[in-house]
Structure 1
């Protein structure tokens, strides 16, 4: 199964945004935005012969007890999140940046309606998922193979989300940096009740590796730093439970998953983040998400890459809802 961000949308056209498109400008230190362009491939998972048949009736939404679920303002499992992913400075990193904001929000409205129709009992919470720190194929000024976006970009996406009462995820691709080094800068946004966090192990590089040349990895202890950071913010600022989304489509992307610490003010989503035809995506979900559950699960749909194979069609909401466990975080790229 292939990388999540390297080919998430149509190929970048290289043309500047049209006048009046509201695409924010970078600050003077930003020279690039696209995550490294080289496609990364992951091994195709073996067929899951031990899994029980998927069915909506046997598909619990939460794998383990969630202490945060009963707290005021908790989103999961009371709502299903449907998110648009990408970066407004790039047309090739996802739907969030591929089309003009008004059209993007209208398209998101359509997906929200489709999911609501597929599961009327579960309200749908719209979301915008911004890649706020992007991995790079060159070291850059700090030598960390990552590029931090401007605050103006976060402010812009948060303002777009407010037009739909949507929540926001700020996603980090740390390159050769660390989770500990990147999170403090995000505190001013994460202390807002509607802003949550995503981490992409695909671009967390160890031992001097370069993003795009191999698939990265994060250990439970690194993820635990993030859950502790979010839990502390929730307590300090009296916030509703925070959500952490961790992307995954191979075994090595997340190590020692049993040691991931759940916190009383954090809701954890392990998100199936690979692209391919429906059989491959289901197999990946069963192999890497279902077999190593943490709390809640997510499922990504790629508008273009999931249909590369002749005859392939996008997963429908009804088909995703038949997975076991039933995903409560849905992301479109």
Structure 2
């Protein structure tokens, strides 16, 4: 196996101080279960299918590992509950916040233009790989790290629930998923995720957590890169798994952002359960060489379950850098199942 020089991808360090964003829960929360997340029905017995085709699942997981010979990929884990999105789909997500044009493409453009761009990226990935179903997603920063203490000394800002309702209304016509992303600041995963349980109980809503802004050292977010342990990540997994069991849902996806060694500690202790599918997402911007090195160092060599890859329209194309294409990323081992654009 070739040796790769250790290289750290530059952190985006993008956070935005919001004002007048009191959290106000909307009166109603609505979403329709999509075909891709609905419980499968046996056409003969007319009953829910209670197990997956393990042979097909194994074949797909081996395909994702892309001829890896180390034995690390595919990762050994329990089979998921029926209706799991992965490895049958690839998710193409636009990241950001509706209050800011600087935090990502999701909030940078007007709704119609943004959705058109997202669907164009979905089409590129469909053309590059027809072996899976490619689906769009909105990855929304529901809790944003802040540079000031704010309410409860948390150094974060909880966005109003009306924004989540807006994203759900945008997602429905295009059969998109919605990810709620958490930047805990001086708070913790359990408290922040618990406040979003009503939304996470919807079939097409999933979760993202960002160790970069988990400031266990007491520093101000953005001044240093934060960290999460397996215990923090397991808190999110426990909440999602309970919701899936109680609401009789198909598995939830948990996206964990990472671009340094210290951002995730004790990765071997991260739980793997049938109710939750974990994506370790290679975050950060830089040249293709830097990003590939980071993927190899922290995502490939510390396997958890599935992988993701983040692309930056501006910062990955800066100077003489070029943003990765679908065809290039499909050569990676393992192939990423989740692609996020910022």
By the TM > 0.5 criterion, same fold?
yes
Alpha-carbon distance in 2 for matches of 1:72, 1:166: 20
Q: In 2 relative to 1, CA 290–161 (structure 1 residues): closer, same or farther, beyond 3 Å? A: same
Q: Pick from 257, 261, 282 the counterpart of residue 247 of structure 1.
A: 257
Structure 2: gaps (5+ residues): 1-8, 25-63
Q: Is the 8 A contact 1:68 1:266 kept in 2?
A: no
Segments ≥4 residues shifted beyond 6 Å = none
Give the drift of 1:121.
1.2
> Structure 2 CA distance, aligned partners of 1:286 and 1:251?
12
Q: CA deviation at 1:72?
A: 2.7
Offset of 1:207 from its aligned partner? 2.7
TM-score where L is the length of structure 2: 0.81
Label 1:183 to 1:56 Cα distance change in 2 as closer, same or farther (>3 A).
closer
Equivalent residue runs for 1:2-151 within 5 Å: 2-6=10-14, 27-28=21-22, 57-58=66-67, 63-69=74-80, 71-151=81-161
Query: What is the CA–CA distance in structure 1 between the aligned matches of 2:248 and 2:73, rounded to whole Å?
Result: 24
Shift of 1:28: 4.4
Cα deviation, residue 141, structure 1: 2.3
Change (3 A) 1:28 1:190: closer
Deviation digits for residues 23-80 of structure 1 (CA, Å, limit 9, x no counterpart): xx964479xxxxxxxxxxxxxxxxxxxxxxxx985259963244354x3321000000
Q: Does 1:326 align with 2:335?
A: yes
- 8 Å Cα contact 1:180-1:225 kept in structure 2: yes
Report the CA distance shift for 1:253/1:66 in structure 2 as closer, same or farther (over 3 A).
Answer: same
Are the equivalent residues in 2 in contact too, given 1:59–1:326 (CA < 8 A)?
no
2:321 equivalent in structure 1? 312
Q: After superposition, what is the alpha-carbon deviation per residue over 1:127-160, rounded to whole angstroms, capped at 9, x for unaligned? A: 1000000000110122110000000011101111
CA distance in 2, matches of 1:231, 1:28: 29
SS for the counterpart of 1:236 is helix
Count residues in correspondence.
292
Compared CA separation, residues 254 and 57, structure 1 to 2 (3 A): closer
The change in CA–CA distance for 1:106 and 1:68 in structure 2 (over 3 A counts) is farther
Q: Which residue of 1 aligns with 2:242?
A: 232
Please, what is the CA RMSD of the aligned residues?
2.2
Cα pair distance change 1:234/1:57, threshold 3 Å: closer
